[in-house]
């Protein structure tokens, strides 16, 4: 279980029944399952070096989670929020991969790092049609820093969403616990904006805006259910007034200007997500991908109904083209004959004086 999520839920026990925590528990259980029979991890990744064991293990755990998700989509338990659960999976995977990146290194590590994502996307394609995660084609490009602030902001924002959308899952909800969570959220929001310099908290701007939107909707929803909960108003990140602070590191008067000045640096450097592929690795990856695509197309053409259908289609297409060409030749020939007759008739008119 993620330590930051565990800390939040320990403080606010009612969150245990909501999907963020329960899904992370399920992923922990899936990690312990046996390797999938159609695993793609060792198909693409170099396994000889011991330093790559953790990446291969992570890949196999990710396959287990995707398989479990497929089952949840089929039985309908997660289908209505399919994209959100797939995003949780991506968040978990990218964090784990980045953590592994810092802890391990070997000669073939860079290559295996890229193949980790290729393996998982390929495995995802082997699952059942509409029950796969459609939105994981960009795994590996997550620019999140996964620092304590960004992770905590992510978890409290997602829990706000689920409080509003799965309120019935909360056991014996009491207004006191709900109100304490709202206060906890606003205090953290205030801390990010007011206790950091503008150039530091600017990188959380989009996350803060998303949090603000979820908080506004959830606090209004809870106020309707529990009028005794004080309705908490929260200004947008740009307009937020720092409370109870004599010294503010990011003043309201200069915040919008300072945030606007923060130009986006190189993404790999900014988010600490260096992949550092050398040219040989890139060329190898491209060539390998082309070979796999050609092999797949050849297999489909030779051994599946798709190949037969394609051959029939090409035969029909050639037949139609031949018929059309014959028809075109006849039309042109007829046109030439008519033109010759017309010329003969014109020249045969007797000259009158």
Q: Return the closest-CA partner of residue 70 out of 49, 50, 89.
A: 89
Q: Return the closest-CA partner of residue 88 out of 38, 147, 136, 16.
A: 136
Distance (Å, whole) CA 279 – CA 285:
10
What's 170's DSSP letter?
Answer: S
What does the domain layout of the chain look like in residue ranges?
143-272, 306-343
10-residue stretch averages of pLDDT, the chain, 353 residues long: 92 94 90 78 74 81 90 87 90 85 61 83 82 77 76 95 92 87 93 86 89 94 88 84 73 80 46 37 55 66 63 66 65 55 41 39
Handedness of CA 323, 324, 329, 335 (dihedral sign): positive
Predicted pLDDT at 302: 63
pTM of the model: 0.69
From the number of C-beta atoms within 10 Å of its C-beta (0-12, 13-18, 19+), residue 27 rates as buried
Q: CA angle, 241 as apex, 236 and 244 as ends, to 5°?
A: 140
Predicted pLDDT at 147: 87
Distance (Å, whole) CA 250 – CA 252:
7
Cβ neighbours of residue 347 closer than 8 Å, sequence gap 6 or more: none
């Amino acid at each position: 279980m993620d330590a930051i999520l565990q800390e939040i839920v320990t403080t606010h026990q009612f969150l245990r029944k909501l999907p963020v925590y329960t899904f992370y528990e399920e992923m922990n259980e899936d990690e312990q399952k046996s390797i999938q029979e159609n695993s793609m991890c060792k198909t693409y990744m170099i396994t000889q070096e011991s330093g790559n064991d953790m990446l291969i293990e992570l890949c196999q755990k990710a396959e287990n989670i995707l398989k479990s998700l497929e089952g949840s989509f089929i039985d309908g338990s997660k289908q209505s929020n399919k994209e959100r659960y797939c995003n949780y999976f991506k968040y978990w995977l990218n964090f784990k991969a980045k953590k592994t990146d810092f802890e391990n290194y070997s000669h073939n590590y860079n290559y295996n790092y890229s193949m980790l994502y290729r393996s998982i996307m390929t495995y995802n394609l082997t699952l059942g049609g509409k029950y796969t995660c459609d939105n994981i084609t960009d795994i590996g490009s997550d620019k999140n820093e996964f620092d304590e602030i960004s992770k905590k902001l992510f978890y409290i924002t997602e829990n706000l969403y689920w409080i509003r959308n799965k309120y019935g899952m909360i056991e014996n909800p009491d207004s006191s616990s709900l109100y304490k969570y709202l206060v906890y959220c606003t205090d953290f929001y205030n801390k990010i904006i007011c206790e950091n310099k503008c150039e530091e908290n600017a990188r959380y701007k989009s996350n803060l805006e998303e949090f603000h939107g979820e908080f506004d909707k959830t606090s209004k929803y809870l106020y309707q259910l529990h009028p005794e909960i004080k309705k908490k108003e929260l200004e947008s990140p740009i307009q937020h007034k720092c409370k109870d602070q004599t010294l503010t590191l990011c003043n309201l008067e200069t915040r919008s200007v300072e945030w606007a000045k923060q130009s986006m640096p190189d993404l790999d450097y900014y988010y600490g997500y260096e992949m550092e592929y050398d040219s040989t690795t890139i060329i190898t990856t491209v060539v390998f991908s082309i070979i796999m695509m050609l092999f797949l197309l050849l297999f489909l053409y030779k051994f599946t109904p798709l190949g037969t259908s394609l051959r029939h289609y090409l035969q029909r297409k050639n037949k139609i083209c031949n018929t059309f060409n014959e028809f075109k030749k006849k039309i042109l020939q007829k046109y030439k004959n008519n033109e010759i007759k017309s010329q003969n008739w014109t020249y045969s008119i007797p000259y009158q004086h």
